[in-house]
Structure 1
Amino acid sequence: MEQLQNLPFSSIVDALEYQAQIRPEKIAILYPDPNQASREYASLTYRQYNNVVNNLANKISKYLPWSSSDESITCGLLAVGGIEYLLSQYALLKLPNVIMFPISARNSQATVEHLLEVTKTALLLTTTQYLPMIKIIQQQQQFQSLKVIFLDKDEFIIEDLLKNKDIECPTTSDIITLRKNKDKEFNRVIVILHSSGSTSHPKPIRLTNRYFLGTLALYLSINKDFWHEDDVILVWAALFHLLAFNITVRAVVKGCTFALPLCVTFPPKPDELLRNIQVKNDITVLVTVPSLLEQLIRELLSEKNTNIGLKPLEKLKFVMYGGAGCPDELCRTLVDNGVVLISAYGATETGMILVTNIKPYNKKWKFMQLSDLRKTFLRIETPQNAQNPNEKIIVHLPNDPFLAENVSNSSDGCYTTGDIFLEDPPNSGQYVIVGRQDDTLVHITGEKTNPLPMENIIRQSPLIKQVAIIGHNQFCTAALIQLNVEEASNYDFDEIKEKIWDIIEQANKDAPSHSRLVRQLVKILPMNKTLPVTHKGNLIRQRVNQEYSILISTIYDQFLNKKYQEQQKNETIHKKEQLKWTKETIKKYLEEKLKLIMENINDSSRSIFDFGVNSLQVVELRN
């Protein structure tokens, strides 16, 4: 690609070194200041950023296993996030022949084991939060040689590394000698990201420097005003996913500022989101997953914040969401109040495909367009059995230079994401997502759930004739259960509920944490109701969503909103309920319901998120 050949660097870390020389005193990173209880930002200039990354890279290099000059080493990274995570990502990128592999902190132990094995991970960077899991993993024969570094211990403690940010720290000579063959460096695999699990386990996706450096060119070919050197880009997304990490690269390539979420631990709480968007650090752009944007809007429009309204978002150049669909009602509220809302669409396998143009902005936030740079490497087709001739799928040709390495899901070597688009008006080049060809559920958090493995386990119960796990464009999964009437007639309803919950717990065991079912979102259908299936017995997921749309809306609303609202209204009952929660009852609840090991919680002032509790469990706890 000509655009890449014109760059003064050929890799992500070359770009960082370039910016450290060209604009050494420009702020590169804003991160939560632990000395201010993470309520204000501390910063690193490009020179300091490069120094700390080089220092950390040198420390990590001592633990790498020996390898020949042409043999790559996969180094995993398993942690929640924050400045130490970002610095570790870039430190691994600095090391020769190392492939940096961020692993989702939401994965189950079985999934982590699978990913470590299939990627042949030799070194794992993690934190002591994961020590119980790591001990079990290392006892297994296939992981006997796995080396582990704890980022919150010894020489890797981030506070100590940051103290030395002004000390020049060159990397080892081996690292510097790599940058000679530009084409080779562009095409070198440097990162593995994993899918959310289109089969029973996630699959690793191998990405090159070319993949990351080319993304900026795609945006700028649509509109040169997308990203500027003076931008301060705030990102609310996990660094182990493409959305956030790709923005870190974009910031380094452009020489602008990347801002981490202003929170104690990821994900931010609603009050932290509100504080973050009001912080006085000249934020110009917000990039977020829809679930956090939704929490922010609720907070901004609540009665206690009527004096604020949407003003903090109106002043931004734009707000971009990605990773999942965003509720229409929320989006209309934003654009009707003067917020420039942008939708970006892509996948880990493909990189960015479609994006809303920022100028001229016509408030059609859902409608996106292709970059001219990409059009020659794609086919736009009408899918088989399409009910509307304007429904389209995007087929990536094998020579698409923006694709990940060796991705194909068709016999001709092409790749499709499985999403269906509507071109409206016809031949306009403006596309909106209308559905999927497969069964994948995309949550508003940006996480994905493959419902099939869980459904297969649940159907093993003789009490259950059919089950539909739902959750597309929702915060989390839910399940609709169709009973086997003949078998169910042998039990009373309480027994049925307990037996069904037993099988659901089995399904939850190996599922990613964001995919797991909670009791309140398991709905047993009346005996006279059935779930729609094909003549072969396969679930017709779209018809399930259509036929049970009111029921689905009701169970989600009751779980996410109504119970909490009722608690707030009935303050007397609420106070009586509070009295039941002593230190011991809270401890018992966390042990039984959230499966926390209480001996590890030695500081009750810390955030519950520090101990692996996720947002779904917090909603359950609140209720």
Structure 2
Amino acid sequence: MNPDDHKNLPFPAPPPTQGLSTKTFRQPPMDGTLTGPEIYDWHMKYSVDHPLFVFADEQGNTRTINWPEAVRAVHRSGRIMQSLAKSIPVARPTFAIHAASDTITYFTTIVGIMRAGYIVFPISPRNSAAAVAHLISRTSTSHALVGSEPALQELAAGALKILVDSEKAQPGMSNIPVFEDIFIDDHEETFEPLPPYKPGWDDPALIMHSSGSTDFPKPIVWSHYRYLLAGYVPFLGEQDLCGQRLACHSMPMYHGMGLMQTLWTGCAGLVITAFKPHVPAIAPTPELVITGSVTTQSDIVFCVPSFVEAWAKNPEHVRLLQQTRGVLYGGGPLSQTVGDELIEKGIPIYILYGCSECGIISPVLPMKSGKDWNYFKIPSGIEKRFLPDANGNAELLILASPGKYMIPNILNTTIEGHAAYATSDLLAPHPTKPDYWKVFGRTDDQIMHNTGEKTNPAPLENMLNQDPHVRAAVMFGRGKFNAGVLIDPRPGFEFDPADEAKLVDFRNKIWPTVERLNEFAPQHSRLFKEVSPLTPPSFPPRPSR
């Protein structure tokens, strides 16, 4: 099999698990008749009364946006892109999005770019200017849509300057559209749709980026074939999610878990609840997210582990969670204690596991949640292998097999004569339930935070090790909000850590190096001065290679 040739690959029939009792959602054909962007036009005709978005205003009044209104906004977004593309000498330009816009506007802009026939590349605004410049250059991005916030404008300008100084091609830049630009109260007869467009299955649809393994983030191209396969994920679960409200108040659309919603909604009929569109976007906090989720009558709260751990400390938040059907978390490890406590209080906890190179690998959602909430069974429609280590854990490999529900976007190994992607994720088997696994760690040094972000310590540790005062540096922070570092001073600079004055003096000596590190690192990997420097850190050992 040529993994980059999808012309003759079959589309597997999705299991009959979704939309079993709906009266408003009509499941689109998923046999290759329609590409992902074309599914939106389908729903404009066949799912007229089915909601796509729900949000609440400051008074708690909710507004529902059904598919026809949303699709008209998609087309308006696409027309804005077509206008920008007139000055671009490329047939299918790549539009990067470097913004922290509200969920609904960002979602609609992503789909609008693809519906216009272009490639969309959401870039995390937490990256450094150097990383943004690297990603733009690597992908030959033609135009960047930038958030209007001063910090984002400054970051984009810094990335542009790096490209200019290195004599590399610079993209055009403009502000990302706002909600009022694309959601307009008009009548059907005044709507001017985009012309029909059918991309090839091998054509790029979107680009994600990794958090990086040894240096800058790496772009990961998703073809239209693989993008449509991502819409099969809800069908591999055991619950009918059609019409269920998924609270995405805290899930950024530039993250893979947010991007997948552009297909899950269209293929399975999920409904997205979010904050009211606003500029600047409402910053998610545990208080605002749980309140917004309940106000919009969300069924499942979708978030990263740090929010769940914050809610567990607040009895009122726990009470609000008990009004939902549970929490779906992903991106990093959730405290075992917190998960167990919420399960005991009747709040189902569901794990979402996947990677940008492949997509979502765990079922969404299993039939029930219980004491084994952090274990999952990989669906049989995904071809996988396990490479065991000496400790009883195993690295997960996903094979590129035709006719399956997942084909990796990157192939980095072979097994049994088949091309595959080695995830570098170590999974631990359930002690008594065959074929059930939980995420244990990494075969590389990546640190998974409870925010869904990852820190790649090797290049950062190397920068610290070059400081003349440092003999060795080791970063930590798995399951924590941010990264920390242990420093072993060079001979001649040792001191008693109980002497706070000497500790502060040593930290100040190495701080210029830390500042250079922070200029290089993404926001979630930066180091900060602790208020209580004598508090010993707690961190698990890294998995053995």
Provide, for residues 541-582 of structure 1, a one-character-per-residue CA deviation record: whole Å limited to 9, x for no partner: 964799xxxxxxxxxxxxxxxxxxxxxxxxxxxxxxxxxxxx
Larger RCO, structures 1/2 (Cα 8 Å, 6+ apart): 2
The 1:524–1:108 alpha-carbon spacing in structure 2 relative to 1, beyond 3 Å, is farther
**Residue number in structure 2 paired with 1:497:** 507
Instruction: Map 1:547-562 to 2 at 5 A.
Output: none
User: Match of 1:416?
Assistant: 422
**Does the 8 A contact of 2:121 with 2:206 survive in 1?**
yes
* 1:111 partner amino acid: A
Instruction: Say which of 341, 354, 362 aligns to 2:349.
Output: 341
CA distance, structure 1, for counterparts of residue 366 and residue 483 of structure 2: 33
Q: Percent identity?
A: 20
Within the alignment, does 1:245 sit opposite 2:247 as a pair? no
Q: Which moved more, 1:21-30 or 1:98-107?
A: 21-30
Q: Which amino acid aligns with 2:97?
A: L
Partner of 2:49: 25
Residue of structure 2 in register with 1:537 after alignment: none
* Correspondent of 1:104 among 124, 148, 158: 124
Partner of 1:149: 174
Give 1:607's aligned residue: none
Residue 420 of structure 2 aligns to a residue whose secondary structure is coil
Aligned-partner Cα distance in 2 for 1:123–1:500: 39
**1:193–1:206 Cα contact (<8 Å) kept:** yes
Residue ranges of structure 1 left out of the alignment (5+ in a row): 527-540, 547-623
The CA distance in 1 between the partners of 2:169 and 2:203, in whole Å, is: 29
Contact 2:74 / 2:182 at 8 angstroms: preserved in 1?
no
Contact 2:35/2:198, CA 8 A, preserved across alignment: no
Partner of 1:84: 105
Contact 2:442–2:543 (CA<8 Å) still a contact in 1? Answer: no
Provide the rounded CA distance (Å) in 1 between the counterparts of 2:399 and 2:120.
27
Residue 523 of structure 1: CA displacement?
A: 5.8
CA shift for structure 1 position 351: 1.1
Mark the CA change 1:7 to 1:356 in structure 2 (over 3 Å): closer, same or farther.
closer
- Deviation of 1:44 (Å): 1.6
Given that 1:463 and 1:500 are in contact with CA atoms closer than 8 Å, whether structure 2 keeps it comes out as yes
Q: What is the deviation of 1:262?
A: 5.8
Q: CA, structure 1 residues 213+6, in 2 after alignment: closer, same or farther (shift >3 Å)? A: closer
Kept after mapping to 2: 8 A contact 1:54/1:94: yes
1:209 Cα shift?
A: 3.0
Looking at structure 1, the residues matched to 286 and 294 of structure 2 have their Cα atoms a distance apart, in angstroms, of 13
SS of corresponding position for 1:63: helix
User: Does the CA contact (< 8 Å) of 2:12 and 2:31 recur in 1?
Assistant: no
Contact 2:233 2:364 (8 Å CA) reproduced: no
Q: Please report how far the alpha carbon of residue 65 of structure 1 lies from its aligned counterpart in structure 2 after TM superposition.
A: 5.0
User: Cα distance 1:311–1:430, how it changes in 2: closer, same or farther (>3 A)?
Assistant: same
Aligned to 2:516: 506
Structure 1 match to 2:64: 43
Q: Would you say the 8 A contact 2:234–2:264 is kept in 1?
A: no
Decide whether aligned partners of structure 1 residues 267 and 468 sit closer, same or farther in structure 2, where only a CA change above 3 A counts. farther
**Equivalents in 2 of 1:442, 1:166: separation in Å?**
48
CA contact (8 A) 2:232 2:264 kept: no
The structure-2 alpha-carbon separation of the partners of 1:160 and 1:95, relative to structure 1 and needing over 3 Å to count, comes to closer
What letter matches 1:456 in structure 2?
A: N
Match of 2:247 among 201, 213, 234: 234
Q: CA deviation at 1:53?
A: 1.3
Which residue number corresponds to residue 596 of structure 1?
none
1:278 aligns with 2:311: no
1:358 matched residue in structure 2: 366
Alignment of 1:205-604 (within 5 A): 205-223=220-238, 225-228=239-242, 230-235=243-248, 236-261=250-275, 265=281, 267-279=283-295, 281-299=296-314, 301=315, 305=316, 310-355=318-363, 358-374=366-382, 377-383=383-389, 386-388=390-392, 391-399=393-401, 402-409=406-413, 413-425=419-431, 428-488=434-494, 493-520=503-530, 543=541
Tell me the distance in 1 between the aligned counterparts of 2:380 and 2:413: 24
Alpha-carbon distance, 1:6 to partner: 4.3
Aligned equivalents of 1:315, 1:511: Cα separation in 2: 40
Alignment partner of 1:54 is 2:75: yes
Separation of aligned partners in 2, 1:125 and 1:62: 13
Give the number of the structure whose residues are more often helix, by fraction.
1
SS of residue paired to 1:87: helix
Asked if the contact 2:294/2:324 (under 8 Å) is kept, the reply is: no
Structure 1 distance, partners of 2:368, 2:534, is 49
**Matched-pair contact (CA < 8 Å) for 2:221–2:409:** yes
Shift of 1:341: 1.1
Q: Distance in 2 between matches of 1:211 and 1:487?
A: 54
1:41 deviates by 3.8
Contact preservation (8 Å) 1:9, 1:15: no
Structure 1 pair 133/436, CA: closer, same or farther in 2 (3 Å)? closer
Partner SS for 1:92: helix
Specify whether residues 462 and 341 from structure 1 end up closer, same or farther in structure 2 by C-alpha distance, changes over 3 A only.
same
Please name the residue that 2:22 is paired with: none
Q: Distance in 2 between matches of 1:85 and 1:263?
A: 10
Shift in Å at residue 336 of structure 1?
0.5
Q: Count residues in correspondence.
A: 502
Q: Counterpart amino acid of 2:380?
A: D
CA contact (8 A) 1:234 1:283 kept: yes
Checking the alignment, whether the CA contact within 8 Å between 1:30 and 1:42 is kept in structure 2 is yes
1:122–1:146 Cα contact (<8 Å) kept? yes
Q: Deviations over 1:450-481 (max 9, x none)?
A: 01111111111121111111111110001111
Contact 1:461-1:500 at 8 Å conserved across structures: yes
SS of the residue corresponding to residue 519 of structure 1 reads coil
Please tell me whether the aligned partners of residues 226 and 358 of structure 1 are also in contact (alpha carbons under 8 angstroms): no
In structure 2, the residue matched to 1:12 is: 36
**Farther off after superposition, 392-401 or 11-20:** 392-401
Q: Distance in 1 between matches of 2:232 and 2:159?
A: 42
Q: Which amino acid aligns with 2:462?
A: N
Tell me the C-alpha RMSD between the 2 structures.
3.1
**Which AA in structure 2 matches 1:122?**
S
In 2 relative to 1, CA 349–110 (structure 1 residues): closer, same or farther, beyond 3 Å? same
Q: Is the 8 A contact 1:80 1:266 kept in 2?
A: no
CA distance in 2, matches of 1:485, 1:263: 56
Whether the 8 Å contact between 1:52 and 1:165 is mirrored in structure 2 is: no
* Letter of the structure 1 residue corresponding to residue 320 of structure 2: P
Deviations 1:11-51 (A, max 9, x none): 22211111111122322112454xx38x5543321101011
Task: Report the Cα offset of residue 361 of structure 1.
Answer: 4.0
Deviations 1:325-380 (A, max 9, x none): 11111111111011121112110111122247632544310110011111xx2212
In the alignment, the residues of structure 2 paired with residue 445 and residue 493 of structure 1 have an alpha-carbon distance, to the nearest angstrom, of 29
Q: Please, which runs of 5 or more residues in structure 2 have no aligned partner?
A: 1-10, 15-28, 496-500
SS at match of 1:75: strand
Question: C-alpha separation between the residues in 1 aligned to 2:181 and 2:535?
Answer: 57
Structure 2: how far apart are the matches of 1:440 and 1:241? Answer: 17
Amino acid of the structure 2 residue aligned with 1:465? R
Amino acid at match of 2:270: C
SS in 2 for 1:253: helix
Which of the numbers 137, 145, 148 marks the counterpart of 1:117? 137
